[in-house]
Homo-oligomer: A and B are copies of this chain.
Amino acid sequence: MKKVKCYAPATVANVVCGYDILGFAIENPGDQVIVSFNHTHTTRITKIEGDEGKLPLDVKKNVVGHVVNLFLEKVKSRQGVDIELYKKMPLNSGLGSSAASSVAALVAINELFENPLTKGELLPLAMEGERLASGNAHADNVAPSLLGGLVLIRSYEPLDVIKLPFIKDLFVVSVHPDINVPTGEARKILKQQIPLQKAIEQWGNVAGLVSGFCTGDMDLVGRSMKDVIIEPIRSMLIPFFCEMKEIALENKAIGFGISGSGPSVFALCKNKDQADEISDRLYHLLNRHQIKSESQVTKMNNKGALII
């Protein structure tokens, strides 16, 4: 029986000033999904590993089952499908865990069906996975997980997704403190009205970040990685955020910020030595304060989801 296995990478959404519009993929971690036909007319999740028993096997409640069913609806198939999900990253980490699962499942099932849908057609289905996971069909994790690189979600209606020029050899430190910050909560604490003046500062920085990436000016990217709207509020949910940021910037990170809605944080670095140093220091800082964490160094990923 034909089986298809897909790897989809973790992602860092928001990217400091780019709240809700930017996200990038990283090489590691990433989820794996294996799909195969079965002889029933139903979609089944036959195996989940790496979730500490937290994810449901019910296909309607698990993003991989949900998006596979949406795919089958879209291609008008009543074929039965078995899904195995191998989680390689913590849930609710802020590294786009649900997005990686949805994207891996969709790219795998599309390959199993010999690619009837384009990536552009898979994307809205993956966003429906996000709606199931968090109540919000956001694209800033699924789009970079699918496409790789740094991705701009210019608009949702209509959906307009642009992969920005890729800068090679950027290293990313991601630190996941073992505390719980549910995405919904992290959204609720934001103010729904903001001062125009702050918004102008923010879009100046967004413009700087994007033009820095487009022209390869990493100093400009660094100067632009400032968030005057979201980070001052959300960082309160992350213990020792300011200390971690100070350490990262003192050790020459291009920039530092919250990954997605947290609690993971990330530092963008020009080389592996700096990234290793920062990773080490952040881990030890949290450790000294009795906060368990996973800290790792990886590269920015340009390929997105891949059949393996």
CA distance A211 to B204 in the complex (A): 13
Residue of B nearest to A153 (CB): B204
Interface string of A219-245 (1 = CB under 8 A from B): 010011000010000000000000000
Interface string of A1-35 (1 = CB under 8 A from B): 00000000000000001111110000000000000
Given A210-B211, A214-B214, also A223-B193 (CB < 8 A): no
CA distance A22 to B210 in the complex (A): 14
Interface string of A152-164 (1 = CB under 8 A from B): 1111000010101
Most buried by B among A152, A202, A206: A206
- Point out the residues of chain B lying under 8 angstroms from A165, CB to CB: 214-215
CA distance A210 to B220 in the complex (A): 14
The number of residues on chain A lying at the interface, defined by a beta carbon within 8 Å of a beta carbon of chain B, is: 41
A 195-219 contacts with B by CB, 8 A:
195-197, 199-211, 214-215
A191 on the interface (CB 8 Å rule)? Answer: yes
Residue of B nearest to A21 (CB): B204
CA distance A200 to B20 in the complex (A): 7
- Point out the residues of chain B lying under 8 angstroms from A160, CB to CB: 208, 223
Most buried by B among A165, A194, A210: A210
CA distance A106 to B223 in the complex (A): 29
A190 on the interface (CB 8 Å rule)? Answer: yes
Q: What are 17 A-B contacts defined by CB distance under 8 Å?
A: A18-B203, A21-B203, A21-B207, A152-B207, A153-B204, A154-B207, A154-B220, A160-B208, A164-B211, A165-B214, A192-B195, A194-B194, A194-B196, A207-B209, A210-B214, A211-B211, A211-B214
B204 touches A202 (CB 8 A): no
Closest-CB distance, A188 to chain B (whole angstroms): 12
B20 touches A205 (CB 8 A): no
Residue of B nearest to A197 (CB): B192
CA distance A3 to B278 in the complex (A): 58
- Point out the residues of chain B lying under 8 angstroms from A206, CB to CB: 203, 206-207
- Point out the residues of chain B lying under 8 angstroms from A19, CB to CB: 200, 203
CA distance A165 to B212 in the complex (A): 11
CA distance A164 to B215 in the complex (A): 9
* 10 further contact pairs, Cβ within 8 A, besides A155-B223, A192-B197, A193-B195: A17-B203, A19-B200, A19-B203, A21-B200, A152-B208, A154-B224, A194-B194, A194-B196, A196-B229, A210-B211
CA distance A56 to B19 in the complex (A): 47
Closest-CB distance, A101 to chain B (whole angstroms): 25
CA distance A162 to B209 in the complex (A): 11
Given A214-B211, A223-B155, also A196-B200 (CB < 8 A): no
- Point out the residues of chain B lying under 8 angstroms from A21, CB to CB: 200, 203-204, 207
Partner of A210, one of B155, B196, B207, B223: B207
Partner of A154, one of B154, B191, B205, B214: B205
